[in-house]
Chains A and B, each alone.
Chain A
Amino acid sequence: MEQGTTVWEKIPAGTAGLIALVLLVLVGTFVAQIIALGLILLEFSLGYAKSKLYKRAIQNAADTDSRLSELMATQSADQTSGQSLSLIGKNNMPIWAHQISDCIKISTAEMESLTQGFAGIVGDLHSIVSGETAHDEISISEIKQRLHSISAALEKLVQIRKESQQQVAELSAFTSKLEEMARDVGSIAEQTNLLALNAAIEAARAGESGRGFSVVADEVRNLANRSGEIATAIIDNVVKVNDQFSLMEKKANSSAQIEGSLMEDAAQNIDVVIGQHEATKAQRDAGAENLTRLSSGISKDIETALVSMQFQDRISQVLGHVQDNMTTLSEMIENQQELDIEGFLANMASEYTTTSEREAHSKLTGIEVSEDTNKLDDGEAVFL
């Protein structure tokens, strides 16, 4: 307040009036009266001026006091803020960094589990569809092959039976010839017997000289009788063989008819079974095709979902950078280092790995993060 004091302020109030009064008493002249009046006016002027100066000084003092209070308050607030920031850097920021780290670990682990689960589902769907188709193909192929082999075996059996019938028929013809030959032998034996008889008669007429010839004639006759008996026996046997052949032929014909009928039935049944199986297979193929289509759709949906899950990688990277920056900042605060905000921001920018981080940094700070304004338009480049 001393700085605002002037010379005028040091003159006691009423000094000019007192001088004027002394002049009037001692001199009493007109000039003295004029001087006294002037001194009185001067006194009024000085009083007014002092009043103004005092008011201004008081106002200045009040303003200064106010500014000083504000300054002190600001200093106090700054001190409080600095202490708070230090505490935040020491206590809160490590907790936040730790929590971000936990979030990264949890989301990464869960996302890995989820993607592996989806990958398993996609693999299972592929396996189910391919396995079902392969099984069907083997099954229908085997059934056809086996049924056709049975049918072929039956046909061959019938063919063999027909050939046997043919051979029996041929044998029957042979035995007929044998019978005819045996009858010829019998006929020859009868004629030989007659000749032997005539020879014996002629030998008897010859008397004693024909006795030897008579013995020969008797032996020839015996042989003829014996030949006739053998021929008769052959004929009997041939007749019996023919009867057996006839019986066999009848039975073979009957069996052939039955087998032919069975063969036709079997062939028809095989065709029916194959037809039914093919119809069933066609239905199953349609179902499998539908299943394949649905599986493919599900697989594509899951693959699309998996593609979307790539966000986890980017989020982990961004959160990792935030965590690193918080840790660095916390250490700086804890170590009471001078905060070089520009340097810190530049360091943050150098760690970015995604376009979104760089764009956000530029947008929020007004600082261009990357000198490289060229971005891959379609996210792909092949250098071949």
Chain B
Amino acid sequence: MSKTILIVDDSASVRSVVGIALKGAGYAVIEACDGMDALSKLTGQKIHLIVSDVNMPNMDGITFVKEVKKLPNYKFTPVCMLTTEAEKSKMMEGKAAGAKAWIVKPFQPPKLLDVVSKLIA
């Protein structure tokens, strides 16, 4: 039974790239186009990891992480932020919200998989 990862990004091309990298490593993938869409998909099924963008319409990534931490079934689900933001202050904001890792775009798939395996293990 492969582990399931939720990808949250408003860019479909980024979702595709992340999806290819994760599927190639044997993970199952669910996609959402922003924080609101992602919350609507957290309906009880087991999610082992969330990979989320920061700057998105409707609901940004930091707010999304805070909302996830309020959900009883998902408050312990690790979240990895994947964003163009490289500012440490922004990263610390993400960490304070509950994110477990921070990767700056453009990313290299092996690096993403390395972080994912650390978070899921």
Task: Report the interface size for chain A: residues with CB under 8 A from the other chain.
Answer: 39
Is the beta-carbon distance between A380 and B115 smaller than 8 angstroms?
yes
The 0/1 profile, CB within 8 Å of B marked 1, for residues 351-384 of chain A is 0011100000000000000111011100111111
- Tell me the minimal C-beta distance from B65 to chain A in angstroms: 12
Instruction: Give me 21 A-to-B residue pairs in the complex whose CB atoms sit less than 8 angstroms apart, sorted by A's number.
Output: A108-B11, A112-B16, A115-B13, A116-B16, A119-B20, A126-B24, A309-B13, A310-B13, A310-B106, A313-B9, A314-B105, A354-B84, A370-B87, A372-B90, A374-B87, A376-B91, A379-B86, A379-B104, A382-B101, A382-B118, A383-B100
The 0/1 profile, CB within 8 Å of A marked 1, for residues 85-114 of chain B is 111111100010001111111111101000
Residue of B nearest to A107 (CB): B13
Task: Report the interface size for chain B: residues with CB under 8 A from the other chain.
Answer: 39
- Tell me the minimal C-beta distance from B103 to chain A in angstroms: 5
Supply 7 further A-B pairs (C-beta < 8 A) apart from A115-B16, A353-B83. Answer: A108-B11, A116-B12, A314-B84, A316-B11, A374-B88, A374-B89, A384-B118
Question: Residues of A at under 8 Å CB distance from B?
Answer: 108, 111-112, 114-116, 118-119, 122-123, 126, 299, 303, 306-314, 316-317, 353-355, 370-372, 374-376, 379-384
Asked if B19 lies at the interface with its beta carbon under 8 angstroms from chain A, I say yes
Q: Which residues of B contact A123 (CB under 8 A)?
A: 23
- Tell me the minimal C-beta distance from B90 to chain A in angstroms: 8
Asked if B36 lies at the interface with its beta carbon under 8 angstroms from chain A, I say no
Q: Which residues of A contact B16 (CB under 8 A)?
A: 112, 115-116, 118-119, 306
Q: Contact check: which of B20, B88, B89 meets A122 at CB < 8 Å?
A: B20
> How far does the alpha carbon of A382 sit from the alpha carbon of B24 in the complex, in Å?
22
10 A-B pairs with the lowest CB-CB distances in the bound complex, closest first: A379-B104, A310-B106, A115-B16, A112-B12, A374-B88, A115-B13, A313-B11, A372-B89, A381-B102, A382-B101
> How far does the alpha carbon of A223 sit from the alpha carbon of B69 in the complex, in Å?
116
> How far does the alpha carbon of A381 sit from the alpha carbon of B23 in the complex, in Å?
23
Q: Contact check: which of B89, B90, B99, B109 meets A307 at CB < 8 Å?
A: B109
Q: Contact check: which of B19, B84, B100 meets A353 at CB < 8 Å?
A: B84
> How far does the alpha carbon of A383 sit from the alpha carbon of B99 in the complex, in Å?
8
Q: Which residues of A contact B89 (CB under 8 A)?
A: 370-372, 374
Q: Which residues of B contact A379 (CB under 8 A)?
A: 86, 103-104, 107, 111
